[in-house]
Chains A and B, each alone.
Chain A
Protein backbone atom coordinates (compact mmCIF):
# COMPACT_ATOMS: atom_id res chain seq x y z
CA UNK A 1 0.00 0.00 0.00
CA UNK A 2 1.50 3.33 -1.03
CA UNK A 3 0.24 6.40 0.78
CA UNK A 4 0.42 9.75 -0.97
CA UNK A 5 -0.16 13.30 0.25
CA UNK A 6 -0.42 15.04 -3.11
CA UNK A 7 -2.96 12.70 -4.70
CA UNK A 8 -5.62 13.16 -1.97
CA UNK A 9 -5.08 16.92 -2.22
CA UNK A 10 -5.59 16.82 -6.00
CA UNK A 11 -8.72 14.68 -5.62
CA UNK A 12 -10.06 16.99 -2.88
CA UNK A 13 -9.45 20.02 -5.09
CA UNK A 14 -11.09 18.34 -8.11
CA UNK A 15 -14.10 17.47 -5.98
CA UNK A 16 -14.35 21.06 -4.72
CA UNK A 17 -13.93 22.58 -8.17
CA UNK A 18 -16.67 20.35 -9.53
CA UNK A 19 -18.96 21.22 -6.65
CA UNK A 20 -18.40 24.99 -6.61
CA UNK A 21 -17.64 25.92 -10.22
CA UNK A 22 -18.98 23.23 -12.56
CA UNK A 23 -21.57 24.59 -12.80
CA UNK A 24 -21.47 27.78 -10.73
CA UNK A 25 -24.68 28.17 -8.72
CA UNK A 26 -25.16 30.93 -6.18
CA UNK A 27 -27.55 28.79 -4.16
CA UNK A 28 -24.84 26.15 -3.70
CA UNK A 29 -22.38 28.74 -2.42
CA UNK A 30 -24.88 30.36 -0.06
CA UNK A 31 -26.18 27.10 1.44
CA UNK A 32 -22.78 25.39 1.58
CA UNK A 33 -21.32 28.58 3.05
CA UNK A 34 -23.88 28.38 5.84
CA UNK A 35 -22.94 24.73 6.48
CA UNK A 36 -19.27 25.76 6.62
CA UNK A 37 -20.21 28.61 8.96
CA UNK A 38 -21.96 26.19 11.31
CA UNK A 39 -19.08 23.75 11.15
CA UNK A 40 -15.99 25.93 11.19
CA UNK A 41 -16.75 29.42 12.42
CA UNK A 42 -18.96 28.65 15.40
CA UNK A 43 -16.33 26.24 16.72
CA UNK A 44 -14.09 29.24 17.22
CA UNK A 45 -11.40 27.91 14.98
CA UNK A 46 -11.52 30.98 12.76
CA UNK A 47 -12.49 33.63 15.22
CA UNK A 48 -10.45 36.77 15.66
CA UNK A 49 -7.58 36.52 18.12
CA UNK A 50 -6.81 39.17 20.60
CA UNK A 51 -3.27 39.78 21.75
CA UNK A 52 -2.48 42.31 24.38
CA UNK A 53 0.74 42.76 26.25
CA UNK A 54 0.97 44.57 29.54
CA UNK A 55 3.98 45.98 31.24
CA UNK A 56 4.61 45.05 34.88
CA UNK A 57 3.08 48.17 36.44
CA UNK A 58 -0.05 48.01 34.35
CA UNK A 59 -0.54 44.34 35.25
CA UNK A 60 -0.42 45.12 38.98
CA UNK A 61 -2.85 48.00 38.53
CA UNK A 62 -5.32 45.84 36.61
CA UNK A 63 -5.07 43.10 39.26
CA UNK A 64 -5.77 45.67 42.01
CA UNK A 65 -8.75 47.07 40.12
CA UNK A 66 -10.18 43.58 39.60
CA UNK A 67 -9.73 42.80 43.30
CA UNK A 68 -11.42 46.09 44.28
CA UNK A 69 -14.27 45.37 41.88
CA UNK A 70 -14.88 41.89 43.29
CA UNK A 71 -14.84 43.17 46.88
CA UNK A 72 -18.48 44.20 46.42
CA UNK A 73 -20.77 41.11 46.54
CA UNK A 74 -23.17 42.59 44.01
CA UNK A 75 -20.44 43.03 41.43
CA UNK A 76 -19.14 39.54 42.19
CA UNK A 77 -22.59 38.19 41.39
CA UNK A 78 -22.65 40.20 38.18
CA UNK A 79 -19.22 38.85 37.23
CA UNK A 80 -20.31 35.29 37.96
CA UNK A 81 -23.46 35.85 35.91
CA UNK A 82 -21.44 37.15 32.98
CA UNK A 83 -19.04 34.20 33.16
CA UNK A 84 -21.91 31.71 33.36
CA UNK A 85 -23.68 33.38 30.41
CA UNK A 86 -20.52 33.26 28.32
CA UNK A 87 -20.04 29.60 29.23
CA UNK A 88 -23.63 28.74 28.30
CA UNK A 89 -23.35 30.58 24.97
CA UNK A 90 -20.06 28.81 24.31
CA UNK A 91 -21.63 25.42 25.01
CA UNK A 92 -24.57 26.17 22.71
CA UNK A 93 -22.18 27.24 19.93
CA UNK A 94 -20.16 24.07 20.49
CA UNK A 95 -23.30 21.91 20.13
CA UNK A 96 -24.33 23.71 16.95
CA UNK A 97 -20.84 23.41 15.46
CA UNK A 98 -20.64 19.72 16.41
CA UNK A 99 -23.79 19.04 14.43
CA UNK A 100 -22.67 21.47 11.72
CA UNK A 101 -19.51 19.44 11.13
CA UNK A 102 -21.59 16.49 9.95
CA UNK A 103 -23.85 18.71 7.84
CA UNK A 104 -20.83 20.17 6.04
CA UNK A 105 -19.16 16.76 5.64
CA UNK A 106 -22.37 15.25 4.28
CA UNK A 107 -22.70 18.06 1.74
CA UNK A 108 -19.12 17.60 0.55
CA UNK A 109 -19.40 13.80 0.36
CA UNK A 110 -22.68 13.95 -1.59
CA UNK A 111 -21.64 17.01 -3.64
CA UNK A 112 -24.78 18.93 -2.80
CA UNK A 113 -25.84 21.79 -0.58
CA UNK A 114 -28.39 21.07 2.15
CA UNK A 115 -28.85 21.97 5.79
CA UNK A 116 -32.09 20.69 7.29
CA UNK A 117 -32.08 17.08 6.08
CA UNK A 118 -28.51 16.22 7.16
CA UNK A 119 -28.98 18.19 10.39
CA UNK A 120 -31.84 15.88 11.35
CA UNK A 121 -30.39 12.63 9.96
CA UNK A 122 -26.96 13.06 11.51
CA UNK A 123 -28.03 14.70 14.76
CA UNK A 124 -27.17 11.67 16.89
CA UNK A 125 -23.59 11.70 15.63
CA UNK A 126 -23.32 15.44 16.23
CA UNK A 127 -24.53 15.01 19.80
CA UNK A 128 -21.94 12.27 20.40
CA UNK A 129 -19.20 14.53 19.06
CA UNK A 130 -20.46 17.38 21.26
CA UNK A 131 -20.31 15.27 24.43
CA UNK A 132 -16.85 13.99 23.61
CA UNK A 133 -15.62 17.52 22.92
CA UNK A 134 -17.02 18.86 26.18
CA UNK A 135 -15.16 16.18 28.16
CA UNK A 136 -11.98 16.80 26.15
CA UNK A 137 -12.12 20.57 26.75
CA UNK A 138 -12.59 20.09 30.50
CA UNK A 139 -9.70 17.63 30.71
CA UNK A 140 -7.49 19.91 28.59
CA UNK A 141 -8.23 22.90 30.81
CA UNK A 142 -7.41 20.92 33.95
CA UNK A 143 -4.13 19.69 32.45
CA UNK A 144 -3.26 23.20 31.25
CA UNK A 145 -3.92 24.63 34.70
CA UNK A 146 -1.61 22.06 36.27
CA UNK A 147 1.41 23.73 34.70
CA UNK A 148 -0.04 27.16 33.95
CA UNK A 149 -0.37 27.93 37.65
CA UNK A 150 3.29 27.18 38.55
CA UNK A 151 4.29 29.01 35.35
CA UNK A 152 2.33 32.11 36.38
CA UNK A 153 3.72 31.99 39.92
CA UNK A 154 7.26 31.70 38.56
CA UNK A 155 6.79 34.62 36.20
CA UNK A 156 5.16 36.84 38.83
CA UNK A 157 7.85 36.17 41.41
CA UNK A 158 10.53 36.86 38.80
CA UNK A 159 8.85 40.18 37.93
CA UNK A 160 8.61 41.05 41.65
CA UNK A 161 12.31 41.83 41.51
CA UNK A 162 13.55 39.10 43.81
CA UNK A 163 17.38 39.04 43.91
CA UNK A 164 17.37 35.36 42.97
CA UNK A 165 14.94 35.84 40.13
CA UNK A 166 17.38 34.39 37.60
CA UNK A 167 17.04 31.00 39.28
CA UNK A 168 13.29 31.18 38.94
CA UNK A 169 13.62 32.21 35.30
CA UNK A 170 15.68 29.07 34.66
CA UNK A 171 12.75 27.08 36.03
CA UNK A 172 10.60 28.54 33.24
CA UNK A 173 12.39 26.50 30.60
CA UNK A 174 10.95 23.05 31.38
CA UNK A 175 7.51 24.56 32.07
CA UNK A 176 7.49 26.34 28.72
CA UNK A 177 8.63 23.15 27.04
CA UNK A 178 5.77 21.28 28.69
CA UNK A 179 3.33 23.96 27.56
CA UNK A 180 4.59 23.75 23.98
CA UNK A 181 4.33 19.95 23.97
CA UNK A 182 0.83 20.14 25.41
CA UNK A 183 -0.18 22.64 22.74
CA UNK A 184 1.19 20.38 20.02
CA UNK A 185 -0.69 17.35 21.36
CA UNK A 186 -3.95 19.31 21.57
CA UNK A 187 -3.45 20.58 18.02
CA UNK A 188 -2.90 17.06 16.70
CA UNK A 189 -5.94 15.74 18.58
CA UNK A 190 -8.05 18.51 17.04
CA UNK A 191 -6.65 17.74 13.58
CA UNK A 192 -7.25 13.99 13.83
CA UNK A 193 -10.73 14.55 15.26
CA UNK A 194 -11.74 16.85 12.40
CA UNK A 195 -10.02 15.10 9.49
CA UNK A 196 -10.37 11.43 10.46
CA UNK A 197 -12.55 10.64 13.48
CA UNK A 198 -15.56 12.67 12.29
CA UNK A 199 -15.44 11.02 8.82
CA UNK A 200 -15.20 7.57 10.49
CA UNK A 201 -18.20 8.42 12.68
CA UNK A 202 -20.08 9.55 9.55
CA UNK A 203 -19.14 6.49 7.50
CA UNK A 204 -19.90 3.85 10.11
CA UNK A 205 -22.68 5.65 12.02
CA UNK A 206 -20.82 5.12 15.31
CA UNK A 207 -20.16 7.34 18.31
CA UNK A 208 -17.05 9.37 19.01
CA UNK A 209 -15.37 6.87 21.33
CA UNK A 210 -15.84 3.94 18.93
CA UNK A 211 -14.57 6.06 16.05
CA UNK A 212 -11.49 7.12 18.03
CA UNK A 213 -10.83 3.46 18.81
CA UNK A 214 -11.00 2.56 15.12
CA UNK A 215 -8.77 5.48 14.18
CA UNK A 216 -6.19 4.82 16.90
CA UNK A 217 -5.75 1.23 15.74
CA UNK A 218 -4.93 2.60 12.28
CA UNK A 219 -2.78 5.38 13.74
CA UNK A 220 -0.78 2.87 15.79
CA UNK A 221 0.24 1.08 12.58
CA UNK A 222 1.09 4.30 10.71
CA UNK A 223 2.32 6.82 13.28
CA UNK A 224 4.85 8.59 11.10
CA UNK A 225 2.43 8.93 8.18
CA UNK A 226 -0.21 10.62 10.32
CA UNK A 227 2.25 12.88 12.12
CA UNK A 228 3.63 13.94 8.72
CA UNK A 229 0.05 14.59 7.62
CA UNK A 230 -0.15 17.20 10.36
CA UNK A 231 2.90 19.00 9.01
CA UNK A 232 1.45 18.77 5.50
CA UNK A 233 -1.84 20.38 6.56
CA UNK A 234 0.04 23.09 8.46
CA UNK A 235 2.03 23.92 5.32
CA UNK A 236 -1.21 24.10 3.33
CA UNK A 237 -2.79 26.46 5.84
CA UNK A 238 0.27 28.70 5.75
CA UNK A 239 0.00 28.84 1.96
CA UNK A 240 -3.72 29.67 2.17
CA UNK A 241 -3.04 32.35 4.79
CA UNK A 242 -0.36 33.89 2.57
CA UNK A 243 -2.80 34.01 -0.34
CA UNK A 244 -5.51 35.55 1.84
CA UNK A 245 -3.10 38.21 3.14
CA UNK A 246 -1.98 39.02 -0.42
CA UNK A 247 -5.56 39.38 -1.64
CA UNK A 248 -6.45 41.45 1.39
CA UNK A 249 -3.53 43.81 0.83
CA UNK A 250 -4.56 44.17 -2.81
CA UNK A 251 -8.00 45.45 -1.78
CA UNK A 252 -7.09 48.12 0.75
CA UNK A 253 -7.81 45.58 3.50
CA UNK A 254 -11.48 45.54 2.49
CA UNK A 255 -10.94 41.86 1.78
CA UNK A 256 -10.03 41.36 5.43
CA UNK A 257 -13.18 43.20 6.48
CA UNK A 258 -15.22 40.89 4.26
CA UNK A 259 -13.65 37.81 5.84
CA UNK A 260 -14.33 39.13 9.32
CA UNK A 261 -18.09 39.14 8.70
CA UNK A 262 -19.69 35.96 10.06
CA UNK A 263 -21.17 33.78 7.29
CA UNK A 264 -19.90 36.14 4.56
CA UNK A 265 -16.35 35.08 5.43
CA UNK A 266 -17.26 31.40 5.25
CA UNK A 267 -18.88 31.86 1.81
CA UNK A 268 -15.81 33.69 0.50
CA UNK A 269 -13.47 31.05 1.95
CA UNK A 270 -15.37 28.07 0.46
CA UNK A 271 -12.68 27.40 -2.20
CA UNK A 272 -10.35 26.67 0.76
CA UNK A 273 -12.80 25.16 3.25
CA UNK A 274 -14.30 22.55 0.89
CA UNK A 275 -10.94 21.04 -0.20
CA UNK A 276 -9.79 20.94 3.43
CA UNK A 277 -13.03 19.18 4.41
CA UNK A 278 -12.52 16.61 1.65
CA UNK A 279 -8.78 16.14 2.24
CA UNK A 280 -9.05 14.04 5.42
CA UNK A 281 -11.49 11.48 3.96
CA UNK A 282 -9.48 11.30 0.71
CA UNK A 283 -6.31 10.59 2.70
CA UNK A 284 -8.10 8.06 4.87
CA UNK A 285 -9.48 6.20 1.84
CA UNK A 286 -5.93 5.15 0.93
CA UNK A 287 -5.90 2.79 3.91
CA UNK A 288 -8.62 0.52 2.60
CA UNK A 289 -12.31 0.21 1.86
CA UNK A 290 -13.23 0.15 5.53
CA UNK A 291 -12.01 3.78 5.75
CA UNK A 292 -13.45 4.99 2.43
CA UNK A 293 -16.09 7.59 3.29
CA UNK A 294 -16.96 8.57 -0.29
CA UNK A 295 -17.36 5.00 -1.50
CA UNK A 296 -19.54 3.96 1.45
CA UNK A 297 -21.83 6.97 1.08
CA UNK A 298 -22.18 6.50 -2.65
CA UNK A 299 -20.74 9.96 -3.04
CA UNK A 300 -19.99 10.98 -6.61
CA UNK A 301 -16.39 10.50 -7.65
CA UNK A 302 -14.20 13.36 -8.81
CA UNK A 303 -12.68 13.19 -12.26
CA UNK A 304 -9.69 10.81 -12.29
CA UNK A 305 -6.40 12.60 -11.72
CA UNK A 306 -3.62 11.66 -14.15
CA UNK A 307 -0.78 9.87 -12.45
CA UNK A 308 -2.64 9.26 -9.19
CA UNK A 309 -1.79 5.99 -7.42
CA UNK A 310 -4.46 3.28 -7.70
Chain B
Protein backbone atom coordinates (compact mmCIF):
# COMPACT_ATOMS: atom_id res chain seq x y z
CA UNK B 1 0.00 0.00 0.00
CA UNK B 2 1.37 3.45 -0.91
CA UNK B 3 2.30 5.79 1.96
CA UNK B 4 -0.35 8.32 0.84
CA UNK B 5 -3.00 5.60 0.94
CA UNK B 6 -1.84 4.52 4.40
CA UNK B 7 -1.96 8.14 5.58
CA UNK B 8 -5.43 8.59 4.08
CA UNK B 9 -6.71 5.40 5.69
CA UNK B 10 -5.21 6.37 9.04
CA UNK B 11 -6.74 9.84 8.86
CA UNK B 12 -10.12 8.36 7.98
CA UNK B 13 -9.94 5.94 10.94
CA UNK B 14 -9.01 8.67 13.42
CA UNK B 15 -11.77 10.85 12.00
CA UNK B 16 -14.28 8.04 12.46
CA UNK B 17 -13.11 7.49 16.05
CA UNK B 18 -13.52 11.20 16.83
CA UNK B 19 -16.97 11.15 15.29
CA UNK B 20 -18.04 8.13 17.38
CA UNK B 21 -16.65 9.65 20.57
CA UNK B 22 -18.52 12.89 19.84
CA UNK B 23 -21.72 10.94 19.25
CA UNK B 24 -21.38 9.08 22.57
CA UNK B 25 -20.64 12.34 24.33
CA UNK B 26 -23.74 13.93 22.82
CA UNK B 27 -25.81 10.87 23.85
CA UNK B 28 -24.51 11.02 27.41
CA UNK B 29 -25.03 14.78 27.67
CA UNK B 30 -28.57 14.51 26.35
CA UNK B 31 -29.38 11.79 28.88
CA UNK B 32 -27.74 13.69 31.72
CA UNK B 33 -29.53 16.94 30.95
CA UNK B 34 -32.87 15.19 30.61
CA UNK B 35 -32.37 13.42 33.94
CA UNK B 36 -31.39 16.66 35.66
CA UNK B 37 -34.45 18.41 34.25
CA UNK B 38 -36.67 15.51 35.35
CA UNK B 39 -35.33 15.57 38.90
CA UNK B 40 -35.68 19.35 39.06
CA UNK B 41 -39.30 19.14 37.92
CA UNK B 42 -40.01 16.50 40.54
CA UNK B 43 -38.46 18.68 43.23
CA UNK B 44 -40.76 21.56 42.30
CA UNK B 45 -38.23 23.79 40.55
CA UNK B 46 -40.99 25.36 38.52
CA UNK B 47 -43.55 25.58 41.33
CA UNK B 48 -45.87 28.48 40.56
CA UNK B 49 -43.89 29.67 37.59
CA UNK B 50 -44.26 27.98 34.24
CA UNK B 51 -44.72 29.49 30.81
CA UNK B 52 -47.83 31.64 30.52
CA UNK B 53 -50.16 30.97 27.61
CA UNK B 54 -50.35 34.01 25.35
CA UNK B 55 -53.27 32.48 23.44
CA UNK B 56 -55.27 32.13 26.64
CA UNK B 57 -54.52 35.72 27.55
CA UNK B 58 -55.36 37.03 24.10
CA UNK B 59 -58.26 34.82 23.03
CA UNK B 60 -59.40 33.19 26.27
CA UNK B 61 -58.73 29.66 25.04
CA UNK B 62 -55.81 27.43 25.91
CA UNK B 63 -53.27 26.38 23.29
CA UNK B 64 -52.58 22.73 22.34
CA UNK B 65 -49.74 22.46 24.86
CA UNK B 66 -51.49 24.16 27.77
CA UNK B 67 -50.99 22.18 30.95
CA UNK B 68 -48.02 20.25 29.58
CA UNK B 69 -45.54 21.69 32.07
CA UNK B 70 -47.83 20.98 35.03
CA UNK B 71 -48.50 17.51 33.65
CA UNK B 72 -44.75 16.84 33.49
CA UNK B 73 -44.35 18.09 37.07
CA UNK B 74 -47.08 15.69 38.26
CA UNK B 75 -45.50 12.83 36.35
CA UNK B 76 -42.08 13.61 37.81
CA UNK B 77 -43.65 13.39 41.29
CA UNK B 78 -45.20 10.02 40.37
CA UNK B 79 -48.82 11.20 40.13
CA UNK B 80 -49.96 9.74 36.78
CA UNK B 81 -53.64 10.47 37.30
CA UNK B 82 -53.01 14.17 37.94
CA UNK B 83 -50.66 14.27 34.96
CA UNK B 84 -53.35 12.88 32.65
CA UNK B 85 -55.84 15.42 33.97
CA UNK B 86 -53.44 18.30 33.24
CA UNK B 87 -52.52 17.01 29.78
CA UNK B 88 -53.18 13.44 28.55
CA UNK B 89 -50.20 13.42 26.19
CA UNK B 90 -47.47 14.24 28.70
CA UNK B 91 -46.86 10.61 29.72
CA UNK B 92 -46.75 9.30 26.11
CA UNK B 93 -44.33 12.08 25.14
CA UNK B 94 -42.02 11.24 28.04
CA UNK B 95 -42.16 7.57 27.06
CA UNK B 96 -41.33 8.51 23.46
CA UNK B 97 -38.35 10.59 24.55
CA UNK B 98 -37.03 7.74 26.68
CA UNK B 99 -37.45 5.19 23.86
CA UNK B 100 -35.78 7.60 21.41
CA UNK B 101 -32.79 8.00 23.71
CA UNK B 102 -32.45 4.23 24.07
CA UNK B 103 -32.78 3.75 20.31
CA UNK B 104 -30.07 6.35 19.78
CA UNK B 105 -27.77 4.39 22.08
CA UNK B 106 -28.66 1.15 20.31
CA UNK B 107 -27.81 2.75 16.96
CA UNK B 108 -24.43 3.83 18.31
CA UNK B 109 -23.67 0.36 19.65
CA UNK B 110 -24.92 -1.61 16.65
CA UNK B 111 -23.82 0.85 13.99
CA UNK B 112 -27.24 0.64 12.38
CA UNK B 113 -27.87 4.07 10.92
CA UNK B 114 -30.89 5.81 9.49
CA UNK B 115 -33.32 4.95 12.29
CA UNK B 116 -33.89 8.58 13.22
CA UNK B 117 -34.06 9.65 9.59
CA UNK B 118 -36.84 7.10 8.99
CA UNK B 119 -38.86 7.60 12.17
CA UNK B 120 -38.41 11.21 13.28
CA UNK B 121 -40.64 12.87 10.65
CA UNK B 122 -43.39 10.31 11.27
CA UNK B 123 -43.24 10.68 15.03
CA UNK B 124 -43.23 14.49 14.84
CA UNK B 125 -46.20 14.49 12.46
CA UNK B 126 -48.09 11.98 14.63
CA UNK B 127 -47.41 13.97 17.82
CA UNK B 128 -48.47 17.24 16.21
CA UNK B 129 -51.70 15.60 15.00
CA UNK B 130 -52.33 14.10 18.45
CA UNK B 131 -51.83 17.52 20.10
CA UNK B 132 -54.34 19.10 17.74
CA UNK B 133 -56.88 16.27 18.27
CA UNK B 134 -56.64 16.53 22.07
CA UNK B 135 -56.87 20.32 21.86
CA UNK B 136 -60.00 20.20 19.71
CA UNK B 137 -61.54 17.57 21.98
CA UNK B 138 -60.93 19.82 24.98
CA UNK B 139 -62.43 22.80 23.21
CA UNK B 140 -65.49 20.89 22.06
CA UNK B 141 -66.16 19.22 25.39
CA UNK B 142 -65.43 22.37 27.34
CA UNK B 143 -62.76 20.61 29.37
CA UNK B 144 -60.07 23.16 30.13
CA UNK B 145 -56.84 22.86 32.11
CA UNK B 146 -57.34 23.54 35.83
Contacts and interface: CB of A to CB of B under 8 A. Distances in A.
Interface stretch (B4-12, B63-71, B90-98): B63-71
Q: Is the interface of B mostly helix, strand, loop or mixed?
A: helix
A250 B121 contact: no
B141 interface: no
Interface of A: 21, 23-26, 248-254, 257
Nearest to A24: B121
B55 A250 contact: yes
Interface in B48-63: 51-55, 58, 63
Given A24-B117, A249-B63, A252-B53, 17 more contacts: A24-B120, A25-B117, A26-B116, A26-B117, A26-B120, A248-B54, A249-B55, A250-B55, A250-B63, A251-B63, A251-B65, A252-B55, A252-B63, A252-B65, A252-B69, A253-B53, A254-B51
A21 B58 CA distance: 35
Interface residues of B, number: 16
A254 B63 CA distance: 11
A254 B65 CA distance: 9
Contacts of B117: 23-26
A253 B116 contact: no
A253 B121 CA distance: 22
A135 to B, nearest CB: 39
B58 A253 contact: no
Contacts of B68: 252
10 contacts: A24-B117, A24-B120, A26-B116, A250-B64, A250-B65, A251-B64, A251-B65, A252-B53, A252-B69, A253-B51
Interface in B90-146: 116-117, 120-121
Contacts of A253: 51-54
A26 B119 CA distance: 11
A116 to B, nearest CB: 11
B106 to A, nearest CB: 16
A252 B120 contact: no
A254 B51 CA distance: 7
Contacts of A252: 51-55, 63, 65-66, 68-69
A254 to B, nearest CB: 6
B100 to A, nearest CB: 12
**10 A-B pairs with least C-beta separation:** A249-B55, A252-B51, A252-B53, A252-B65, A24-B121, A251-B65, A250-B63, A25-B117, A26-B116, A249-B54
Nearest to A26: B116
Q: Which of A21, A249, A252, A257 has the most CB of B within 10 A?
A: A252
A24 B116 CA distance: 9
Contacts of A249: 54-55, 58, 63
A252 B46 CA distance: 15
A23 B121 CA distance: 10
